[in-house]
Structure 1
Amino acid sequence: MGRGRSEIKRIDNPTQRQSTFYKRRDGLFKKARELAVLCDADLLLLLFSASGKLYHYLAPTVPSVKDFVERYEAATHTKVWSDIRQERRAELEKVGKMCDILEKELRFMTVDDGEQYTVPSLAALEHSLEAAMHKVRSEKDRKIGGEMSYLENMIRGKQAERYGLCDKVSALVPFSQIFP
């Protein structure tokens, strides 16, 4: 008579959970070895424990993990390995180009007396300066408008406070006593 099926759920006891992990891990690796040998299958098994430790099995017919992953990428047309150095290099080139453009614009904004500028370049400079002035003026107007509305609200509040005080004073002292 065999054992009955047990419900698959997380083991609450940490010691028992760790013991079960090691036993099951060893059984899984044994099955992977058997599959690789019996069926001549290329196999890579990666396993991370709850603590983050890596365990892996690589079939004897596979030269390296990198070769196996590259073969997987070719078969599935997906990218698992990403060359971080290549990505960083591309990012640095992009930032470098942006810095060059900004430096050119900055040099262009500071008109040097010794430089010989063409009329179209001066017209472009004038246009960009006018656009910048427009942005500055609109931001200044927005700020001044905000301050004016704040001050108007403050004045309304003070006036309401004054009217309230006048009402309190008139309720306490008759008008004829204030102005005889």
Structure 2
Amino acid sequence: MVRGKTQMRRIENTTSRQVTFSKRRNGLLKKAFELSVLCDAEVGLIIFSPRGKLYEFASSSVPEVIERYKRHTKDKVQPDVNQSVDIQNNKQETASLMKKIELLESSKRKLLGEGLGSCSLEEVQQIEKQLEQSVTTIRARKMQVFREQMERLKERERALTAENMMLRELKFGGDEERGKSSGEKEREVVICIEGGSDKSDVETELFIGQPHHHDSRIRRPEWS
């Protein structure tokens, strides 16, 4: 008798379903064993019966097969999942940043006095308050800059004054040294002249008549 093709649907009869489970379970475990032996493959098989009873087979051990399966799926599937999560997060962050940029651009235009037609009285008053606070801050910064510039100018003035005094001291000190040297030289000249006045052997010759006639020469007396 030819066996008919079994329809792939749940067996409604409980007894027939249990018998079929037992037969096919044993055949599946046998096929798993044959596959691991004939092909030298690492096989792990886990079966739970309708009543929750566990049946298992592994060419090495079930925990080792499960751990190897986790490593394999982590290496191949996890990067793709992380990449998808990163892309989604980047999209959300980009959308949030774009919204913030739009709000900042709108606020900037309103502070410049543009696009105020859709603003209410409260919004206009808030913008006016912000502008007043900004002007106050700017003026305070301007005064601070002025004070800093004045301090720098005063420092520069003090430095130039000190430099000028140093140069004057150097100049006047050099003039005094030069004046002192000139006075010493004048005193030396005077001493030389006075020393020369002690000599009494000074002769003055006066020639009368024809030159080269010694008889006509009159010798002047010596000064004592």
Q: TM-score, normalised by structure 1?
A: 0.52
Alpha-carbon distance between aligned partners in 2 of 1:109 and 1:65, rounded to the nearest angstrom: 54
* Pair 1:38-2:67 in alignment: no
Q: In the alignment, which residue of structure 2 is the partner of 1:123?
A: 125
Identity of aligned residues (%): 16
* SS of equivalent residue, structure 1 residue 111: coil
Larger Rg: 2
**CA 114–151 in structure 1, closer or farther in 2 if over 3 Å, else same:** closer
Alpha-carbon distance between aligned partners in 2 of 1:62 and 1:163, rounded to the nearest angstrom: 86
Once the 2 structures are TM-superposed, how far is the Cα of residue 169 of structure 1 from its aligned partner? Answer: 1.6
* SS of equivalent residue, structure 1 residue 64: helix
Number of residue pairs the alignment of both structures matches:
117
The residue correspondences of 1:69-148 to structure 2 (distance < 5 A) are 81=82, 83-112=85-114, 115=117, 117-148=119-150
Q: In the alignment, which residue of structure 2 is the partner of 1:163?
A: 165
Once the 2 structures are TM-superposed, how far is the Cα of residue 164 of structure 1 from its aligned partner? Answer: 0.7
* SS of equivalent residue, structure 2 residue 117: coil
Extract unaligned runs of 5+ from structure 1: 1-32, 44-58, 71-79
Q: TM-score, normalised by structure 2?
A: 0.43
The answer on whether the counterparts of 1:109 and 1:125 sit within 8 Å (CA) in structure 2 is yes
CA offsets 1:2-52 (integer angstroms, 9 cap, x no match): xxxxxxxxxxxxxxxxxxxxxxxxxxxxxxx9xx96333233xxxxxxxxx
Task: Name the aligned partner's letter for residue 60 of structure 2.
Answer: L
The answer on whether the counterparts of 1:62 and 1:68 sit within 8 Å (CA) in structure 2 is no
**CA 118–81 in structure 1, closer or farther in 2 if over 3 Å, else same:** closer
Q: In the alignment, which residue of structure 2 is the partner of 1:65?
A: 74
**CA 172–61 in structure 1, closer or farther in 2 if over 3 Å, else same:** closer
The answer on whether the counterparts of 1:108 and 1:125 sit within 8 Å (CA) in structure 2 is yes
Of structures 1 and 2, the one with the larger relative CO (CA 8 A, separation 6+) is: 1
CA-atom RMSD in angstroms: 3.4
The answer on whether the counterparts of 2:110 and 2:127 sit within 8 Å (CA) in structure 1 is yes
Extract unaligned runs of 5+ from structure 2: 1-41, 43-57, 180-224
The answer on whether the counterparts of 2:109 and 2:115 sit within 8 Å (CA) in structure 1 is no
**CA 61–145 in structure 1, closer or farther in 2 if over 3 Å, else same:** closer
CA offsets 1:142-178 (integer angstroms, 9 cap, x no match): 222222222111111111100111111222223xx7x
